[in-house]
Chain A
Amino acid sequence: MIVIENISKQFGKLKVLDNVSVTCDVSKCIALIGPNGSGKTTLIKSVLGMVVPDSGNIIFNRKNIQNDWQYREQIGYMPQIGRYPDNMTIGQVIDMMKDIRHNSSGFDESLIEAFSLKEMYNKRMRTLSGGTRQKVSASLAFLFDPKVLILDEPTAGLDPVSSEILKEKIFTEINKGKLVLITSHILSELDDLVSEVVYMQDGKLLFHKSIELLHKDTGENKLSKAIARVMTNSIV
């Protein structure tokens, strides 16, 4: 569904993405793993068209995303740090997004209810804690029932109850046959979700393999241990 072909991106002198190619198919949950600053967020932002790569192509549903914008109707994006207009309330932000982004099949408000955001609808965005912001971001990402979900550190800053709710939600969406791209440093919680792992380091893609293969290659049954082994022994 998403084919990333040889994209490179440079910020000043720093090469953030170096000739990265990934193919993502439907009804997979792909984990993007790598140390801080390895280019995961930049890769995600390139798929969303927020970052324009210096070279290479990104094909979404057999269409090049360059100069295209309609493909984003099929993507729900949850940013790492949700930034929202300070003087708008939660309700206004959600209503605005609904207004801007029509959805014929109705809205999926299950997360708004699960996080009980409705009671906080007239809180202004600037007064929110990091966790509540994350809840708003998550609700917005799932609101339009998109075919592809891109979640950047979804559970960072969430309390255990909320993070469990979110994981539950991600799980049901994967079972519905959606493509989920997820980055996280908390590997233990990815264990039961992920079907493929993409490992990045210094802007380069080191490997992209299914989780079974990874377990087999490293001889570890837990993703966290498998990745730790990769990082120390650099088995690729």
Chain B
Amino acid sequence: MKKIIKYVITDILRNRIVLAYTACLLAISFSVFSLEDNSTKGLLSLLNIILIIVPLISIIFSAIYIYNSAEFIELLVSQPLKRKAIWISLFIGLSTSLSIAFLIGIGLPVCIYEFSVTGIMMIVIGLFLTIVFIGIAMLAALQTRDKAKGIGITILLWLYFSLLFDGLVLFLLFQFADYPLEKMMVGISALNPIDLGRILILLKMDVSALMGYTGAIFKNFFGTTAGMSVSFVILLLWIYIPVQISLRKFNKMDL
């Protein structure tokens, strides 16, 4: 299994997109931090990058990578290797390389300019989102053999998680404005890893006061250690469940 991971990582490094991604993130974070004299403001600008760009790149790159590795997977499946090992190695290889890219691109500048609890939280959430979206991409890529269709699905999924979901939630909130939905919102936010990440970071930034009564409820729940642990468990589930489902599917797939 280690060997397959090694080959996956060298393969990813050889096509220089991940290096370009790292360089891009580095450029963005350094420019953001040097534009603002207040590094907390810089952090807030970076937040949007983490919540939008990082999932987008993770999901699309991973889906394309899985499609392009069809030959590699086919070659490995006919060899004395466990299918599970092949699939998990692909997952670990993708996660490692994209996580390293994220750590260098965003983690390094954040540690230099704003080494605080908020900064650390942002790095952790960014890493989680990277891995969550790799898992989702791997699941989506197994649904169809058509590459264009598969990548289309991943883009729609990203749109759903980053834009549509929020729209739906706002719609619900306005429609049922007369009812006390604040507590339910805590539960609903668990259905979207990006929202969950956003709330966790915003609460650490102490801007939750801006979010009104819902913000107070969030603070009451996510601000506590128990609430935080629950949300990290949910993020872990967001990794585990898609990967597990895709693994089952891959085990039964015909090549």
| A residues at B contact (CB < 8 Å) | 11, 45, 48-52, 69-73, 77, 79, 83-88, 96-97, 99-101
Contact = CB atoms under 8 A, between A and B. Distances in A.
Contacts of A100: 3-4, 76, 79, 81
B74 interface: yes
Nearest to B76: A100
B75 A101 contact: no
Contacts of B15: 87
A87 B77 contact: no
A83 B81 contact: no
Contact of B77 (A50, A71, A88): A50
Contacts, number: 57
A84 B7 CA distance: 13
A220 to B, nearest CB: 36
Interface residues of B, number: 25
Contacts of B74: 50, 83
Interface stretch (B27-35, B51-59, B65-73, B205-213): B65-73
B3 A83 contact: no
B14 A72 contact: no
A52 B255 CA distance: 9
A50 B69 contact: no
Contact of A85 (B72, B79, B80): B72
A85 B11 contact: yes
29 contacts: A11-B254, A45-B254, A45-B255, A48-B77, A50-B78, A50-B254, A52-B253, A52-B254, A69-B83, A71-B80, A72-B78, A72-B79, A73-B80, A77-B78, A83-B70, A83-B75, A84-B72, A85-B69, A85-B72, A86-B68, A87-B11, A88-B11, A97-B79, A99-B3, A100-B3, A100-B4, A100-B76, A100-B79, A101-B80
Nearest to A78: B78
Nearest to B79: A101
Contacts of B248: none
Given A99-B3, A100-B3, 6 more contacts: A72-B78, A72-B79, A83-B75, A85-B69, A100-B4, A100-B79
Contacts of B83: 69
Contacts of A45: 254-255
B13 to A, nearest CB: 12
The winner among A70, A77, A79, A83 for most chain B CB atoms within 10 A is A83
Given A45-B255, A100-B3, A86 B78 contact: no
B149 to A, nearest CB: 17
Contacts of A97: 79
Contacts of A70: 80
Contacts of A48: 77-78
B239 to A, nearest CB: 25
A130 to B, nearest CB: 15
Contact of A79 (B69, B70, B78): B78
A120 B194 CA distance: 49
Contacts of B255: 45, 50-51
B82 interface: yes
B253 to A, nearest CB: 8
B145 interface: no
A45 B78 CA distance: 8
B75 A84 contact: yes
A85 B81 contact: no
A69 B254 contact: no
A51 B76 CA distance: 14
A45 B74 CA distance: 11
B254 A51 contact: yes
Contacts of B76: 100
A50 B254 CA distance: 6
Given A85-B75, A87-B15, A99-B3, A52 B252 contact: yes
